[in-house]
Structure 1
Amino acid sequence: MDADPDGGDLLPGWAGQWWVDGRLTAERGVVSFAASTRHLTSVPAEGLVGHVQEIPSTDHLRLLSGVTSRAQAGAIGEDGWRRLADAVRDVTTKGGPDVLVDAGRWVPETPWPLITEADLVLVGVRPSLRHVSATHPLLTALRELVPLHRLGAAVSATTSREADSVARALGIPVGLELPEDPAAARALSDGFTQYREPRHSALLRTSRTAARRLHLRLNPPPAGTTAPASEAALVRGDAA
């Protein structure tokens, strides 16, 4: 889910090739959901139908595309984000898929209902003094709204030693660490046109392993059962 209030990048970036050829559209996403549910106080999982789009060539990925401007995020407002949080929570409690939320950078329009409802909130940061310093005010705000056991650092372009140093400086555990891999990162940010096989890159290999670990950490299944779904939100500080 793209919930970046500054303007969603997933559709024109990672999914840009399918947007250009018409298989995905900007007309369906968080804005259409908020508009269609504006007269409701609470929305079940079924309310997402018609707004979530299937990603071509996959059988397990879906996208709820984001806003195109901060003005649209302001129009959604806290009530709209709350209705979306209700629907997402209903999806996960009914045994649906894991939901990953990109909450963008910390701004006045940050979708707090989605963040406070998440099973895990990861704070995006790079292993530099400038990024760590800029992240502290965000953590101060998050600690007032999210229990400490649901907070973690998503340290990018890093090594394990650097990620551990960042976590100590921030006072939260490492929830996710991703290696320096500019080519694969560029492909995922701007589409696969110039880089066709990011799936075999260090970034994608690490991401797949991290995703499995996060799922099992949040949903340790009893013996002989399947782990339920969960929701994780990623929010970044001003310098991230």
Structure 2
Amino acid sequence: MALVALASAKGSPGVTTAGLAFTFSWATRMVLSECDPSGGSILAGYLQGQIDAGRGLMPLAVADLRHSGANDRLESEFWAQLVDLAPPARQRLLLPGLTDPAQSGTLAPLWNRFAGFFSQLEFGDPSFDVIADCGRLAAPATPWPLLWAADAVLLVVRPTLPSIASAVPTLGAIRAQLSERVASLSSLGLVLVGSGPYSASEVSGQLGAPVVATLPDDPKTAGVLSTGGDVRLSRPLLRAAAGAEAGVRVLIDEHRQQVPRRAVRREVAVGNGHTF
């Protein structure tokens, strides 16, 4: 499935919760990368501060900059920065995000490189699919290259008037970016979260994009994903997230028919000596 970019508009929370739900429930090996310029929240939230905050996107960026973009260094450093969300299986991995939003400017020249690297993990041994949590696109230093490279660009929306209204300009910006850089809008889809007065078909019609996943209100599971606890795949949110994988794969397949991947297959191995 390769690279999926998750994002939201102003006033539409739920991106990180959706990203974690997908990461825990989808059938393939997953890496969740916190790419929100305003900072990551999983280390202090779901992981309850029990993991060293020194790992993550910023150390990876610093190592890459120091070694002038060497591919082998990026690969080895990437695996060293990951956290195993469901140890010891090493199939649900996290690349923690920024701890200080002021650091986001450092990442600006690296998003293209990271986007290409994330896309290639699909062809590694073992292979991984990547979910990039891009946060609210109203934030400065939006990681647009991740959205250009993504096989699915999913905007998280609630079926309420405020959320739909805030999604309109955000979708306009996404469409402008994809039209200019990819010459196709086929990767664009919506993730509908929670309850509200509007149906999925009404939201889709109003925003002009397909709803590819619907996640229910499940405060107990959302609380676990936000502040820690036992993840139970039998819970409504995780069951719906697992069911959403098929719809996302359909969107990706249709996008790839219009924008074929120009993948360079290469070995991206996970060494036994790495600690997640």
| TM-score normalised by the chain length of structure 1 | 0.80
CA distance in 1, matches of 2:57, 2:231: 29
Matching residue of 2:19: none
Q: Is there any run of 5+ residues in structure 1 with no aligned partner, and where?
A: 221-227, 229-240
Deviation at 1:55, TM superposition (A): 2.4
CA distance in 2, matches of 1:43, 1:89: 14
**Tell me, what secondary structure is at the counterpart of 1:123?**
strand
Q: Does 1:102 align with 2:129?
A: no
Aligned length: 212
Is the 1:7–1:69 Cα contact (8 Å) retained in structure 2?
A: yes
Once superposed, what is the RMSD of the aligned Cα atoms? 2.4
Matching residue of 2:213: 176
CA distance in 2, matches of 1:209, 1:127: 19
Q: Does 1:91 align with 2:121?
A: yes
Matching residue of 2:106: 75
Pair 1:160–1:120, CA change in 2 (3 A): farther
Is the 1:42–1:86 Cα contact (8 Å) retained in structure 2?
A: no
CA distance in 2, matches of 1:175, 1:212: 9
CA distance in 2, matches of 1:154, 1:121: 10
Matching residue of 2:236: 202
CA distance in 2, matches of 1:160, 1:177: 14
Matching residue of 1:234: none
CA distance in 2, matches of 1:217, 1:113: 19
Deviation at 1:197, TM superposition (A): 5.0
CA distance in 1, matches of 2:197, 2:185: 22
1:113-152 paired onto structure 2 within 5 Å: 113-146=145-178, 147-152=184-189
Is the 2:156–2:190 Cα contact (8 Å) retained in structure 1?
A: yes
Correspondence for 1:111 among 143, 162, 171? 143
Is the 1:85–1:114 Cα contact (8 Å) retained in structure 2?
A: yes
Matching residue of 2:225: 188
